[in-house]
A = this chain, B = another copy of it.
Amino acid sequence: MNAQVTDSTAPSGPEAADTEARIFEAALKVFARKGKDGARLQEIADEAGIHRPLLHYYFRTKQQLYEAVAERLFTEFLMSFDAPAEGGRFADTLRAFIGHYMDSVRQHRHAAMWMVTENMAGSPILGEMLARAFATEGSPQRAMVEAVERAVESGEIQPVNPRQLMLTVVSACVFPFVTLPTVKMMNPLAAEDFDAYLEERKAHLFEVVYHGLASREVSDA
């Protein structure tokens, strides 16, 4: 159940030390992509490059493996919102948030995929986790929502519903990752150089959201 790995000493098995971690990473991917019911332990074992019974050695059951994975994914999801708090103009705060959030989703894309998968599958565990996190820390977007409200008060930006704005930005950042094959099929740049595509996307998103499409006399950024 535990495999308390190496408190600085060498592993026991041949490449044993990271077996548990490799299983965990593989489970992350498969559960996020297929959901709890759709995932097969054999598939996770293949992805990790190990024999299936090892799954049971490190995590007794599918349920327990899933719960461990879900907890980590949910934490990653929450952490993605911890943007660097900027004090200056909202334009800078927004640009920083978009850049940071998009990078975070890229790095923890399975957390984003898992959120979507579980929302659609209607798993109860997600509701519990959200309620718990909500109660202890408030909405994860809290800081950003407050920044929006301040910017409206200061007059830098038009009045806007902060929750709608947050959802719009989050949608625009997450969606490309949960529809990646389609996006790569529709957009050549995404297929060729995904990093460059994401940078283009950050810039586009900031421009459109902050300045909008309508032609304007003076550009101030």
Q: Report A156-188 residues with CB < 8 Å from chain B CB.
A: 156-158, 160-161, 163-165, 167-168, 170-172, 174-176, 178-183, 185-187
Q: Which residue on chain B has the smallest CB distance to residue A113?
A: B120
Contact for A186 among B126, B163, B208, CB less than 8 A: B163
**Nearest Cβ in chain B — how far from A188, in angstroms?**
9
Q: Which residue on chain B has the smallest CB distance to residue A205?
A: B168
**Nearest Cβ in chain B — how far from A218, in angstroms?**
9
Q: Which residue on chain B has the smallest CB distance to residue A218?
A: B217
Q: Which residues of B contact A181 (CB under 8 A)?
A: 119, 122, 126-127
The answer to whether B215 and A155 have CB atoms under 8 Å apart is yes
Tallying the copies of this chain within the complex gives: 2
Interface-centre pick from A151, A158, A171 (highest chain B CB count, 10 A) = A171
As a 0/1 sequence over residues 176 to 206 of chain A, the CB contacts with chain B under 8 angstroms (1 = contact) are 1011111101110000000000001100110
The answer to whether B209 and A213 have CB atoms under 8 Å apart is yes
Interface residues on A, range: 35 or more
Q: A38-B34, A117-B120, A120-B113 are in contact. Are A209 and B208 (CB under 8 A)?
A: yes
In the docked arrangement, what's the CA distance between A34 and B37, Å? 8
In the docked arrangement, what's the CA distance between A119 and B209, Å? 27
Contact for A119 among B32, B158, B170, B178, CB less than 8 A: B178
In the docked arrangement, what's the CA distance between A115 and B186, Å? 14
In the docked arrangement, what's the CA distance between A123 and B187, Å? 19
Q: A33-B120, A160-B208, A211-B212 are in contact. List 4 more A-B contacts (CB 8 A).
A: A34-B121, A151-B213, A160-B213, A167-B201
CB-CB nearest 3 A-B residue pairs: A212-B212, A38-B38, A171-B175
